[in-house]
Amino acid sequence: MSEPLLQVMQDDAKKVTLPPGLSEADLKTMYEGMVAIRVYDERSLKLQRSGRIGFCVTSFGEEATQVGTVAALQDIDWIFPSYRQYGVPMYRGVQLEDMASHLYGNKFDLAKGRQMPAHYTFKDKRFVSISSVIGTQIIQAVGCAMAARIKGDNCIAATYFGDGATSSNDFHSGLNFAAVYRAPVLFFLVNNQYAISLPVKKQSGNELLYKRAEGYGVPGIRVDGNDVIAVYQATKEAAERARNGEGPTLLELFTYRAGSHSSSDDPSRYRSQDEMDSWKKKDPIERMKRYMQKLGIWSEAYETEIWESFRERINQFTTAAEEQPEPSWESLFEDVYAQMPASLERQKDQLIARESGLELSNEGEFPL
């Protein structure tokens, strides 16, 4: 496709300088954030393939879309993700044991085993629970952004969704509402080129998805989603506009899903090996490494240390999570009402009694 992409890291550049506003430490933090996601994905997929967890979603090749965006946001900003943005709370400092507990749905899982794997939720990081329904997070983010503006908060909202979600009703209503009311929200369209097995060219008459923003009066920009610095800079500018009352922006992050849609998918059935091999050369982690090499801030020792460190920590926490028991039966009745009604209390007592092998009196039975 001939349409230009916003890029910073040019592979043919002989010499590079630090990007404006970013230090050497910033670049290392972003690089390490991408490595952490890659290691987590490798471990999750091995656990699933060995039958130790039932299902997982990976984001091989899309690490820069997560790290570049969240690095440019503030911790007060709300995140409404799809199921492939768990690297965002990782970057914000979520404890790895909480991530691992969710993979197993054990007693320490914050979702208490009620969500699918990869449907994380972290209230203290303003990372809203993931929904399986395509596109619902878009209108949720717009509503949150409007509420923040009405309250006078300085935070903004950001939502992530794939190319397939641009065909959903919520995409159209969300962008239109945000445009009309100038909601302080960022739309991150992560175009990994496949809605499961359906390529963009079979989804849309115009493959340049960022141009859809024009119809709503929203600024749209197409960014190289494998260039973490370009993603960072585009997000930083859009976030400042939103925070200053200038309304929403649609950022199409053009990338490639190097792995499968999920652990239940076989991508070789719908795309060629040549295509997959060509995108491996554009790997965002390798690209950042080459950039750091040119800056003189990368070394073999540094590389070995961070990969081994993340592998050791993630292996440690997933192994520990596997040994924890399932959520208690009592937890089925929690987080439903602020104050449990008597009818639900009776149901809880009845279930616990049955699981304990006890007999309930007639008064304890729930009336049908």
Q: Which of 43, 84, 257, 287 is catalytic?
A: 257
Nearest Cα neighbor of 85 from 98, 97, 70 is: 70
261 part of the active site: yes
Catalytic residue among 49, 52, 114, 270: 270
**The pair of three-digit structure tokens given for residue 107, joined into one six-digit string:** 């007693």
Say whether 222 is catalytic.
no
Question: CA separation (Å) from 272 to 76, 269, 275, 277, 279?
Answer: 42, 8, 5, 9, 11
Strand partners, 208: none
Token pair in block for residue 231: 């993603």
Distance, in Å, from the CA atom of 330 to the CA atom of 244, rounded to the nearest integer, reads 47
**How many angstroms separate the first and last alpha carbons of the chain?**
63
Phi, psi at residue 289, to the nearest 5°? Answer: -60, -45
Catalytic one of 38, 119, 261, 287: 261
CA–CA separation, 97 and 94 (whole Å): 9
Residue 241 bears catalytic tag: no
Alpha helix segments (H runs only) across the chain:
24-49, 63-70, 87-91, 96-104, 136-151, 169-181, 228-243, 273-280, 284-295, 300-322, 342-356
Among residues 161, 66, 53, which one has the least CA distance to residue 117?
A: 53
CA 35 to chain centre: 15
DSSP H helices, 50-157, are: 63-70, 87-91, 96-104, 136-151
Active site residues: 257, 261, 270
